[in-house]
Amino acid sequence: MSQAFPELKNDRFLRALLRQPVDITPVWMMRQAGRYLPEYRATRAQAGDFLSLCKNTELACEVTLQPLRRYSLDASILFSDILTVPDAMGLGLYFEAGEGPKFKKPLRTAEDIEKLPVVNTAQDLSYVTDAVSMIRRELNGMVPLIGFTGSPWTLATYMIEGGSSKDYRRTKAMMYDQPELFQILVDKLVDSIIDYLNAQIRAGAQAVQIFDSWGGALAHDAYLKYSLLPMKRIIDGLIKEHDGRQVPVILFTKGGGQWLEAMADSGAQALGLDWTTDIANARARVGDKVALQGNMDPSILYASPERIRQEVATILKGFGKGEGHIFNLGHGITPEVDPDHAGAFISAVHELSADYH
């Protein structure tokens, strides 16, 4: 059901995604609601733990808005986790202190995968869509709201390994040795994610990002078959326009710089770049097809504000004049960053980018 939301006051993020003219380069940060902010840590303590924070509509809304009170960001992103989808499939997500996410019931047998349900977001993940609607209302048109998901490949690695992994041993063994079984899992994830993202769009998300965190761990052919093709199927299944506006899709494969041309044919409006890809090279290769988002090394934020400013200038110069650049980090902001350094980064983007438009 569509809702009436206030008119958008700052749409430069959405315009840049569609390679339309903007006054300055828009900027947001992956994980901008997170542990580097003391107010986030206080709210998480109030919730009790990370998953409880994700599932509490009011507190998820609060932490989404916290960075916008500090910084002149051009977009907000739903506070949630990529693993809500496998959790809704019944795998029992939990978080071990200092160890990251784990599943109580990882997928180890054909039966495990065959009995896995496809997610019905309205029934299984209403806490996410409730948060989207509340955040969108509370934003009051200040900036657009980004919804997101993990990619099928990335979610599969967590579901099969039972948590984080350095080598994805079990997942790759299944992918290579039991490709038909692995494909069943991928298909269920594709269907679940289409339902999940469309529900976010209906609830108020104005753009969506697919986080393919571990696609860069795949061999060339395996990436095209098991990571990119499923993401293309998801994009094909998404609502293209809502609330009278196009809903752009950002595709972000960490470590995916070698596949930019193939990614540009996915149907996404923008590609996220990590810091290992030169933005000038990326623009020369695909910049007439898609917008580019990125791609400062998050570790630069440990350096002085002066050095941060230099790096911003270098990336802006690399992309050059014209439209289609959304400034971001090449991955999520890290917990130990000084919030003032994040502020210096955002200010530098806005101040230095006017000359490029």
Both tokens assigned to 289:
């097809």
Tell me the H-state helices in 217-327.
Answer: 220-222, 229-236, 260-264, 279-286, 305-319
**Contact between residue 157 and residue 27 where contact means Cβ atoms under 8 Å apart:** no
Catalytic residues: 31, 35, 44, 81, 158
332 known ligand binder:
no
Q: How many CB atoms lie within 10 A of CB 265?
A: 12
CB 238 within 8 A of CB 259: no
Q: Per this entry, what is the length of the chain?
A: 357
Residues 6+ apart with CB under 8 A from 319: 279, 280, 283, 292, 325, 356
If you ran DSSP here, which 8-state letter would residue 217 be given?
A: G
User: Is 262 annotated for ligand binding?
Assistant: no
The Cα–Cα gap between 36 and 31 comes to 9
Cis peptide, bond prior to residue 10, ω within 30 of zero = no
Rounded CA separation 343/308 (Å): 10
Binding residue per annotation — 331?
yes
Q: Which helix (H) or strand (E) holds 179?
A: helix 179-203
Q: Is residue 158 a known part of a binding site? A: yes
Confirm or deny that 33 is annotated as ligand binding.
yes
User: Which helix (DSSP H) or strand (DSSP E) does residue 246 occupy?
Assistant: strand 245-246
Answer yes or no: is 31 a known binding residue. yes
Is 244 assigned to a binding site? no
Strands, DSSP E only, in 243-356? Answer: 245-246, 249-253, 270-272, 291-296, 325-329
User: Which residues are annotated binding-site positions?
Assistant: 31-35, 81, 158, 213, 331
User: Which residues are annotated binding-site positions for substrate?
Assistant: 31-35, 81, 158, 213, 331
